[in-house]
Amino acid sequence: MKCPFCKSDDTRVVDSREGKDGFSVRRRRECNDCQERFTTYERIHHAEVMVVKKDGRREEFDRNKIIAGIRKACEKRPVSTEVIEDFVSSLEKEFLERGEREISSEDIGKKLIEKLYEIDQVAYVRFASVYRSFKDVNEFLDEVTGLLKEKK
């Protein structure tokens, strides 16, 4: 493992711990040249799970893409990175346990929307506005009005 600071190949593992999700290992490493410490994560690479897009294209499941979308929806909201990571890990685990080789992007989107509704309703509306492709302000207002009615 190369040191991200000095690019040396001479590094050692100082500490290893199992990740919260049970599917990853967190390792603290130290560079023997510059003595800087850094963290790496190892994940099991499962057999390819493909995401089937609305237009029929297929691409490999990418947890980082999901995390980026959720982070964007949760921008400037009181939602911690840990909450986002835990949610995406549980989502990934759920899809892998199904044993399916293909998952529709629609199925992923529905799960994301359900969870965002529980986590933060502003983030939910932000994500829904992109996911559901609101055509105009009225569709957006209908969604917010529905949220307000449910709250009462």
Provide the number of structural domains found in the chain: 2
3-state DSSP: the chain helix, strand, coil percent, rounded to 5?
45, 20, 35
- Provide mean pLDDT across the span 6-15: 95
pLDDT of residue 72: 93
Residues 26 and 51 in one domain: no
pLDDT of residue 89: 85
pLDDT of residue 3: 94
Residues 70 and 38 in one domain: no
Handedness of CA 125, 130, 131, 137 (dihedral sign): positive
Residues 52 and 34 in one domain: no
pLDDT of residue 117: 86
Residues 54 and 35 in one domain: no
Residues 55 and 107 in one domain: yes
Q: Residue 50: helix, strand or coil by DSSP?
A: strand
- Provide mean pLDDT across the span 39-45: 80
pLDDT of residue 70: 93
Residues 110 and 71 in one domain: yes
Residues 55 and 90 in one domain: yes
Residues 108 and 68 in one domain: yes
Residues 52 and 126 in one domain: yes
Residues 29 and 52 in one domain: no
- pLDDT single digits (tens) 98-152: 888 899 998 998 888 888 888 888 898 888 877 777 777 777 777 777 766 766 5
Q: Could you list the residue range(s) of the whole structural domain that residue 142 is in? A: 47-151
Residues 120 and 147 in one domain: yes
Candidates 95, 92, 111; CA nearest to 24 is 92
- Provide mean pLDDT across the span 58-75: 91
Residue predicted with more confidence, 29 or 149? 29
Instruction: Name the maximum alpha-carbon separation found in the chain.
Output: 61
Residues 91 and 113 in one domain: yes
The pLDDT confidence band at residue 6, using thresholds 50, 70 and 90, is very high
- Provide mean pLDDT across the span 38-58: 83
The pLDDT confidence band at residue 47, using thresholds 50, 70 and 90, is low
